Structure 1
Amino acid sequence: MSHAPLRPCLLALTITLSTIGQPLSALADSPANEQSALQVYDLPAAPLGVTLSRIARDNNLTLSIAASLVQGKTSAPVQGRYTSQQAAQQALAGTGLGLNVTENGTLSVYPLVETGALNLGATTVSAHHVEEARGPVDGFVATRSATATKTDTPILEIPQTINVVTADQVEVQGARDLTQALRYTPGLSTNGFTDRNTIADEITSRGFAPTFLYLDGAYLPAAGSLGGALQIDPYTLERIEVLKGPSSVLYGQNQPGGMINLVSKRPSSEAKHQIKVGTGSFDRYNLAFDFTGPLDEDQTLSYRLIGVGNTGGEQVDHTKDSRKLLAPSVRWTPNDSTELTVYAQVQRDDGLADYQALPAVGSLYHNSQGNKIDRDAFLGDSKWNNYKRDQYVLGYQFSHAFNDVMTYRQSLSYVDVNDRYKGFYLNRFVTVDGVADTHATRTKLDWRQQNSSYTFDNHLQSDFATGALQHTLLVGLDYRSFTRKYQGYNLYGSEVIDLYNPTNYRTTGVPTLTTKWDNRIKQTGLYVQDQIKLDNFILTIGGRQDWAKVENNDLLANIREPQNDNKFTGRVGLTYVTSFGLAPYISYTESFLPSVGTTAPERGAKAFVPVTGKQYEVGVKYQPNDTTLLTASVFDIKQQNVLTGDLEYQEYQLQAAEISSRGVELEAKSSLANVDLIGSLSYLDAFYTKTNYNNKGKRNEAQAPWAASVWADYHFTGKALQGVTLGGGARYTGRNNGDSSNTFKTPSFVVYDATVSYDLAALDPGLKGVSTSLNVQNLFDREYVSSCNYSFGCYYGQQRTAALEVKYDW
């Protein structure tokens, strides 16, 4: 991983930027005329490199700068009508730098006062890109995002919390899946069964689960039970963006805790190639490659091909898994105004899994015999347990800029997942030989799901001014069709198992079909959003009208329950961006989620209305330069119309529950000199405010109130250790309730991780591009219970796991 852009080294960076739309200077073709065209600017103070890049990009110019000249400098605000040269000069005010413009229109900067300390000498040209909201990020600190607004927006201007995990962070920390990649992100819980069962991801955000996942803005089917969800390999991603709070205005039905958008790697016109091979704990082996570059001399066509293959065991005895993945994509850019990317992904996962939760007595506590269940105990049948998943992704993204004011974007995505899990789950203790807590009954199961969804989104973005107001107006229409087919085969009276001596791995009974569903949800949404700038104020306001049709088909009972819902959701936020990079904000957002079913016939058999959520958030972001970002937020969420049991008619439910979640989140990310730092702290007070049961006023067990993490790595540059990177982190999870009635708690724990890598080019220049890394998770092999959600719903955390990789880039 190159860290040259993150420290003040003397490199010359040549940045060639082209706009999606035509600049105002489109009336003339020469660079001189482009320089003389007036354009309206309303750019707040920001990192100098970002502001200069924005000016160059908006005018289809080339920018050539020395990274050391702009490192740590902040631009002056640029507001008014200027030529591109005047705008750049305005941005440089007070920085001690001057502007030079060549005959062909290239912008460059130079120090106004020569000092002996600056001597560029012989420089090396590095192809450093300017960050775009949907593109790659150098290092750990992202400065732009498109998830929260569907427009390329600085994170400072977004009036909601958004946390970005970059591909560099994923690689340095050695994350194998999404769960591991988000362990150092505040406000999330990655504990539970996915903490040690790496074939699935289920994230809790601000006390609500599951957090819906999106791939490049397109909805990914959520797990209905155990299975039925895609798992996107992090090696295929440029960044992982976590938008906190309700997000229905732009994305339709959602949980109020937030959403996670996975941004894929896309073709590049710059040829780059990478191969990785590795091995690790439990006899794991992996191979991955990533190739991209142009397909023609004019670079109008470019491609990307990503492949992943791995196999090996897991920490639970007898378990294993394997993956084969291929993800091709092609991009066509016939001109600076038009872009079309077509992409696909085929993935096959196969293994022997054991997803069983454990009883609190035996995992969290010693049993009556003073024993605990081994954390690697396999409680299934190695001839029965099995997991297979086939998943497919196919889609395209299209954009066209009609002019410098108006841009149209369209995307279509189809995803399909077909999986099957054969295993067991424990039910309750049974007395054997007079001992009541060593044996348990269990259910033998065979669950099969096929989930698929179409997501179609198109919107028109207009950038214009009305007097002193600068607008970024977004008008869009989207459509989502989701189909879930599920067959549940269960044998409720399977053989009793000895939890402490599970030698009987063979079972004889065969599960029978007990559940068969064919559920469909269709949703159409019309949304409008405007980002309005006046001086340093940014008002973000939006609204959406949704029409949802739900069809719940119980094929065994021959029951069909259709219902139609429509819902308006809104969003408003105000941000103030200071000249020194401080941005306080306040916002209000809403969400909705359709509910399937009706009340009891005695209560009128009324169809359930959508579950709704609303959030108030106040926060502040601070970005003194392009290598540091600090965020702090306070929020209050209420989820209403939540389903709860009907005590009088127990086969039915009522919409009589409400959940409240409020808390504080802090995050700091920085890359200073040779050090990368990540720090996070969160406090969550989530509880049941309304319910039919005895848990009213009790804390929500889904997430621990306190959590914190810190990560640091250091890149050695001295002669003795040049090329070495040494890093480590700690993850703290506080005490948490083990069930909704708060009858027992799980203790707090701290888990440590470590990494060391070496760039072999420091040893021999002939090995340029070759590097090796070692990652260790749970360095001190702490044994702990990750979480519990009821008395038979506890999960051990991941034990010490090491991975060694060798990578070659060229």
Structure 2
Amino acid sequence: MPHLMIRPGLLALAVSMTTLMPLAHADSAADTRTATQAFDLPAAALGDSLSRIARQTGRILSVPPALLQGKRAAAVQGEFSPEQAARQALAGSGLGLTTTPGGTWSLYPLPEGAALDIGPINVDGQTTEDAYGPVKGYVATRSATASKTDTPITEIPQTVNVVTADQIKDQGARNLTQALRYTPGVNVNGFTDRNTIADEITSRGFAPTLLYLDGAYLPYAGSLGGAPQIDPYTLERIEVLKGPASVLYGQNQPGGMINLVSKRPTQVAQHQVKFGVGSFDRVNGAFDFSGPIDEAATLSYRLVGVANDGGEQIKHAGDSRTLLAPSLTWAPTDATALTVYAQIQRDKATPDYQSLPKIGSLYSNSEGHRINRDAFLGDSSWNDYTRDQQVFGYDLVHAFNDSVKYRQTARYIDVNDRYRGFYLTSFVINADGTTDDTRAKRNKVDWRQHNTAYTFDNNLEFKFNTGALEHTVLTGADYRNFTRRYQGYNLYNSEIIELYNPTNYRTSGVPTLTTKWNNFVEQKGLYLQDQIRFNQFVLTLGGREDWAEVDNKDQLAVTEDKQKDKKFTKRIGLTYLTDFGLAPYVSYAESFLPTVGSAAPQRGGGAFKPVEGEQYELGVKYQPNSTTLLTAAVYQIKQKNVLTGDVEYPEYQAQVGEVRSRGIELEAKSSIGNVDLLASLGYLDSFYTKSTYGDQGNRNEQQAPWSAGAWVAYHLTEGALAGLTPAVGARYTGRGYGDSSNTFKTPAFVVYDATLNYDLAFLDPAFKGLQASLNVQNLFDRTYVSSCNYNFGCYYGQERTASLQMSYDW
């Protein structure tokens, strides 16, 4: 159906024409979005009232003419934001109001019998967010990751850090690793800092931090293969839940989890196309189309696509990606919504692991030289990586009434990849027994994996009162099935390379099959959670019973290890909500992770117990308004039943190890006037408290003790530079040990990033929706070693990279 484009002063023309092209209008971001105005409009024809509101606020309204015929607007009198005034006029009309990313208002018919769409409004005039949807700006106020319910972050008794799509875009993040660089308590340095085929995150000293997509487990089988990689352009937000999460998600490590929230269909039409170029001859394109399919908006769609290609920091290395992510939502009533989702992705790369010796990267070698950070240490005719990744699933939500809601989520994830490359193992020993630190031996590998995961989650949410207590009860059952098929072809210590004058060698050795596994992990769980509110107190109680089964088949040795575990985990937290936005809290949470194997026969040979974790956390959150959130937390995590060596029977392992992490995390995110800012600080005190590997009492090498970050963006809205948004950031990583024996340290470093964004609508209204941005990472091109985890496990950080992007929204 044709749409009218109503703008100030054109009502008469708008209601008589079938289509009127908009005159683009460059809104002043500082005043029209959040400021309130005085309105004194009597009840009138709906078209007249909307036109007067548009004229007064400088807005544009796209509306099918038939929607306005015969409809009256309620009186609009008082102090309102533009959106509040429009919704006030729409009261009783049966129409809803939405806003496109470009700022255009659109109307749509509400389902028959639906409640009045006045929209949830905050005291500052902005609409509240949905925990499952997008966030405007950097500050998220709600989350569903920590509770599986739509809960204000201030009521969650654990740390939750949210990276929004706007922050991802402004900071130019190409992958999850880069998107989390400014998040406290996580470590993204090391291999995946500048090698983009994988994401491997450490949280509160524990790795790997498991990843979830819309609450569904993503299989992990190592950073060099077997794991899916979700492109950040397909996401609305990234949520990092710190500490144990087993009560709601089952098998997990105690440092936390990361939930990736996908883009979903919208009931208002919105479109975006992007194109960019960057360092190392990179080129990329993307599109994001969404909107209703029918007039009643019961069917809506979204289609996201990405294509990129180019080189990397290391010579001869490069990667490419193509993906398509369609989704469809059917919402026959306001109480029911079914979304079906798919993602098909193909990645191809020429990677180089480039795990370097500390002598030559961290320290100069015997000749006073260091390895170039762009040195290619492989064979361009051998090094290769391909990944075919598919995700299919659906989300069903049905509200029986205002008090009972049912959710069902199912996902199928398939990852089929192959990694061919090299990794350094040791220096060459000369004939006279001396060490030649200019040459190194390499293992030549060909690793093939095909991994699948099924996840299924059902839960019921009940809201009711018992006297003065307000309850939000969640009860559910979930199922996870993860199958890993792996073939490892290896050629050990056979290929020698010159570290300081590497050439594009053509190697001749052929790896042979040394490992062939078929592993199976199954999880079944029942969980119960109650969020109890009494006056200003919120008590969160949770418990879960898990049944886990592991079946590991070594198909070369023709052996099979089976193990079944049963574990109950719990969580309890108490939050106090003050009237002025301060929310102190205290919590306790547990985790578990099955461990395959058994003790020495001399000790009874019993199967290993699950690795267990427990965390105590004390914190405070402060949210004075919807555009500011400050959080602070202190915590202690203890992980026990960790495998370590058996002193008496060294051919076996014993389950007597323990790791303890203590720390402090601070984060601030705020939008004040024309300024967006974020700051973070983390301190981690993590030790091997029990071990027989000789590292007892040593500091954990997974993460440097100190880290910090700051980012500030300033939106210029007046003068000759109106429309320009400069932003600058700094990331600090402190000194840290480079191995578990604590024999050497990596130095501290600071890396600076910058972005310059320009809204071309300020240049000419005809360019409304067109934006250009320049992003530079490692602005001053600092050379640094980002981390080490053993003598031959040091990694250079990313050198300066720049990208220029153009996007158009309509």
Normalising by structure 1, we get a TM-score of: 0.86
Instruction: Identify if the C-alpha distance between structure 1 residues 125 and 63 changes in structure 2 by more than 3 Å, giving closer, same or farther.
Output: farther
What is aligned with 1:661? Answer: 661
What is aligned with 1:406? Answer: 404
User: For residues 798 and 272 of structure 2, what CA distance do their matches in structure 1 show?
Assistant: 29
What is aligned with 2:267? Answer: 269
What is aligned with 2:46? Answer: none
In the TM superposition, what are the counterparts of 1:581-592 in structure 2 within 5 Å? 581-592=581-592
SS at 2:271 equivalent: strand
Alignment check: 8 A CA contact 1:6 1:139 kept: no
Instruction: Identify if the C-alpha distance between structure 1 residues 392 and 3 changes in structure 2 by more than 3 Å, giving closer, same or farther.
Output: farther
Match of 1:198 among 196, 199, 211: 196
SS at 2:183 equivalent: coil
In the TM superposition, what are the counterparts of 1:260-409 in structure 2 within 5 Å? 260-409=258-407
SS at 1:598 equivalent: coil
Partner amino acid, structure 1, of 2:344: V
Alignment check: 8 A CA contact 1:11 1:66 kept: no
Alignment check: 8 A CA contact 1:64 1:106 kept: no
Alignment check: 8 A CA contact 2:479 2:523 kept: yes
What is aligned with 1:744? Answer: 744
- 1:409-439, Cα deviation, whole Å (9 max, x unpaired): 0010000111110011111111358662111
What is aligned with 1:441? Answer: 441
Partner amino acid, structure 2, of 1:455: T
Instruction: Identify if the C-alpha distance between structure 1 residues 378 and 805 changes in structure 2 by more than 3 Å, giving closer, same or farther.
Output: same
User: For residues 743 and 67 of structure 1, what CA distance do their matches in structure 2 show?
Assistant: 69
- 1:166-213, Cα deviation, whole Å (9 max, x unpaired): 000000000000000000000000000000101110000000000000
What is aligned with 2:32? Answer: 9
Instruction: Identify if the C-alpha distance between structure 1 residues 68 and 280 changes in structure 2 by more than 3 Å, giving closer, same or farther.
Output: farther
Partner amino acid, structure 1, of 2:323: L
| C-alpha deviation, 1:391, in angstroms | 0.5
User: For residues 142 and 69 of structure 1, what CA distance do their matches in structure 2 show?
Assistant: 23
In the TM superposition, what are the counterparts of 1:90-169 in structure 2 within 5 Å? 104=92, 130-169=128-167
SS at 1:180 equivalent: helix
User: For residues 415 and 231 of structure 1, what CA distance do their matches in structure 2 show?
Assistant: 11
SS at 1:373 equivalent: coil
User: For residues 74 and 207 of structure 2, what CA distance do their matches in structure 1 show?
Assistant: 45
User: For residues 588 and 264 of structure 2, what CA distance do their matches in structure 1 show?
Assistant: 33
User: For residues 26 and 650 of structure 2, what CA distance do their matches in structure 1 show?
Assistant: 61
| C-alpha deviation, 1:494, in angstroms | 1.8
User: For residues 795 and 647 of structure 2, what CA distance do their matches in structure 1 show?
Assistant: 30
What is aligned with 2:730? Answer: 730
Alignment check: 8 A CA contact 1:532 1:540 kept: yes
User: For residues 294 and 106 of structure 2, what CA distance do their matches in structure 1 show?
Assistant: 23
Instruction: Identify if the C-alpha distance between structure 1 residues 727 and 193 changes in structure 2 by more than 3 Å, giving closer, same or farther.
Output: same
What is aligned with 1:557? Answer: 557
- 1:645-686, Cα deviation, whole Å (9 max, x unpaired): 223333321111000000000000001111000000000000
Alignment check: 8 A CA contact 1:12 1:126 kept: no
The unaligned stretches of length 5 or more in structure 2 are: 1-24, 38-72, 97-102, 108-125
User: For residues 241 and 650 of structure 1, what CA distance do their matches in structure 2 show?
Assistant: 42
% identity of equivalent residues: 67
SS at 1:179 equivalent: helix
What is aligned with 2:252? Answer: 254
What is aligned with 1:92? Answer: none
- 1:607-644, Cα deviation, whole Å (9 max, x unpaired): 11100000000000000000000000000000000111
Instruction: Identify if the C-alpha distance between structure 1 residues 210 and 799 changes in structure 2 by more than 3 Å, giving closer, same or farther.
Output: same
Partner amino acid, structure 1, of 2:499: L
Alignment check: 8 A CA contact 2:380 2:504 kept: no
User: For residues 300 and 148 of structure 1, what CA distance do their matches in structure 2 show?
Assistant: 30
User: For residues 89 and 394 of structure 2, what CA distance do their matches in structure 1 show?
Assistant: 39
SS at 1:448 equivalent: strand
User: For residues 380 and 702 of structure 1, what CA distance do their matches in structure 2 show?
Assistant: 26
What is aligned with 1:478? Answer: 478
In the TM superposition, what are the counterparts of 1:709-788 in structure 2 within 5 Å? 709-788=709-788
Instruction: Identify if the C-alpha distance between structure 1 residues 519 and 124 changes in structure 2 by more than 3 Å, giving closer, same or farther.
Output: closer
Over aligned residues, Cα RMSD in angstroms? 2.5
User: For residues 340 and 713 of structure 2, what CA distance do their matches in structure 1 show?
Assistant: 37
Alignment check: 8 A CA contact 2:613 2:638 kept: yes
| C-alpha deviation, 1:103, in angstroms | 6.9
Instruction: Identify if the C-alpha distance between structure 1 residues 102 and 167 changes in structure 2 by more than 3 Å, giving closer, same or farther.
Output: closer
Is the aligned partner of 1:489 residue 2:489? yes
In the TM superposition, what are the counterparts of 1:220-239 in structure 2 within 5 Å? 220-224=218-222, 226-239=224-237
What is aligned with 2:65? Answer: none
SS at 2:766 equivalent: helix
| C-alpha deviation, 1:764, in angstroms | 1.0
Alignment check: 8 A CA contact 1:425 1:443 kept: yes
The unaligned stretches of length 5 or more in structure 1 are: 15-61, 72-87, 89-96, 109-122
User: For residues 458 and 312 of structure 1, what CA distance do their matches in structure 2 show?
Assistant: 42
Normalising by structure 2, we get a TM-score of: 0.86
Partner amino acid, structure 1, of 2:570: G
Alignment check: 8 A CA contact 1:100 1:107 kept: no
What is aligned with 1:111? Answer: none
User: For residues 724 and 573 of structure 2, what CA distance do their matches in structure 1 show?
Assistant: 44
- 1:731-783, Cα deviation, whole Å (9 max, x unpaired): 00000000001000000000000000111111111111111000000000000
SS at 2:670 equivalent: strand
Alignment check: 8 A CA contact 2:106 2:268 kept: no
- 1:11-70, Cα deviation, whole Å (9 max, x unpaired): 7999xxxxxxxxxxxxxxxxxxxxxxxxxxxxxxxxxxxxxxxxxxxxxxx999999857
Partner amino acid, structure 1, of 2:359: V
Match of 1:171 among 159, 162, 169: 169
Match of 2:180 among 163, 179, 182: 182
Partner amino acid, structure 1, of 2:415: V
SS at 2:189 equivalent: coil
Instruction: Identify if the C-alpha distance between structure 1 residues 789 and 11 changes in structure 2 by more than 3 Å, giving closer, same or farther.
Output: closer
User: For residues 492 and 616 of structure 2, what CA distance do their matches in structure 1 show?
Assistant: 45
What is aligned with 2:542? Answer: 542
Moved more, 527-536 or 498-507: 498-507
User: For residues 665 and 78 of structure 2, what CA distance do their matches in structure 1 show?
Assistant: 33
In the TM superposition, what are the counterparts of 1:585-600 in structure 2 within 5 Å? 585-600=585-600
SS at 1:596 equivalent: coil
SS at 1:235 equivalent: helix
SS at 2:247 equivalent: helix
Alignment check: 8 A CA contact 1:5 1:67 kept: no
- 1:219-263, Cα deviation, whole Å (9 max, x unpaired): 000123621100000000000000000000000000100000000
What is aligned with 1:524? Answer: 524
In the TM superposition, what are the counterparts of 1:11-50 in structure 2 within 5 Å? none
Alignment check: 8 A CA contact 1:668 1:680 kept: yes
| C-alpha deviation, 1:606, in angstroms | 1.5
Partner amino acid, structure 2, of 1:671: S
Partner amino acid, structure 2, of 1:299: A
User: For residues 321 and 103 of structure 1, what CA distance do their matches in structure 2 show?
Assistant: 53
User: For residues 646 and 384 of structure 1, what CA distance do their matches in structure 2 show?
Assistant: 40
Partner amino acid, structure 1, of 2:260: L
User: For residues 5 and 135 of structure 1, what CA distance do their matches in structure 2 show?
Assistant: 25
- 1:345-365, Cα deviation, whole Å (9 max, x unpaired): 000000111113000000000
| C-alpha deviation, 1:104, in angstroms | 2.5
- 1:688-733, Cα deviation, whole Å (9 max, x unpaired): 0000022111000000000000000001011210110100100000
What is aligned with 1:120? Answer: none
| C-alpha deviation, 1:495, in angstroms | 1.9
Instruction: Identify if the C-alpha distance between structure 1 residues 547 and 762 changes in structure 2 by more than 3 Å, giving closer, same or farther.
Output: same
Partner amino acid, structure 1, of 2:342: A
Alignment check: 8 A CA contact 2:785 2:794 kept: yes
User: For residues 691 and 428 of structure 2, what CA distance do their matches in structure 1 show?
Assistant: 31
Alignment check: 8 A CA contact 2:26 2:765 kept: no
What is aligned with 1:37? Answer: none
Partner amino acid, structure 2, of 1:420: R
